[in-house]
Amino acid sequence: MADSDKSKGGVQIKPKERFDFFHDERVRSAFYQILIAAAVGWFVWTLVSNTAQNLEARGMRTGFGFLNVAAGFDSSFKLISNEAGVGTYGRLFFIGALNTLYISALAIILSTVLGFFIGVLRLSNNWLVSKVALAYVEIFRNTPILIQIIFWYIGVFSLLPRVKNSIDLSGGTGVLLLNNRGLYVPWP
């Protein structure tokens, strides 16, 4: 038997392995994570304290106190009432958040209906309808939304006339007007 193999009553005893702290993968992983977290924490603390000192040196205040100040403007579209010049920035922020939720809900509903409709058209037995739906899906499926926004802005909305030369879709009554700012319809 070799010197490292000692036996006691037929049972081999291996020599104790020396525990090397940094050769253990779990210890090394935890050490690096703590080191990175400390570095990021130090960076954030330095950034925040430096920003606070610079703002204080210039006499600028931070905080949310401005939300209670009366805003001198109003939102053109709102689901809840607000008086121009009386409503606060906080109320306008709330109106903006509510408008965002409303538009998001409408977008979800309309996109679901459109997707279902296009899917049904894709299954159509009519060759032309099926191929047009296929082309629509293949064009818009993997096109980034920013590219689509640029396309709609440059290819459609910038080609519409200015407000003074609006297109009257109501036959001369001025009820439905289309221009580069949007479609204007009567609203109660």
Can you name the residues that pair with 184 across neighbouring β-strands? 177
Q: Helix and strand tally (H, E) in the chain?
A: 4, 5
Q: Are 93 and 67 in contact (CB under 8 A)?
A: yes
Mean pLDDT, rounded, for 22-35: 88
Predicted pLDDT at 154:
92
Q: Are 178 and 167 in contact (CB under 8 A)?
A: yes
Q: Are 182 and 167 in contact (CB under 8 A)?
A: no
Is residue 113 pLDDT above 90, yes or no? yes
Is residue 158 pLDDT above 80, yes or no? yes
Q: Which residues contact 41 (CB under 8 A, 6 or more apart)?
A: none
**Predicted TM-score (pTM) of this structure:** 0.58
pLDDT interval class at 27 (50, 70, 90): confident
Can you name the residues that pair with 12 across neighbouring β-strands? 7
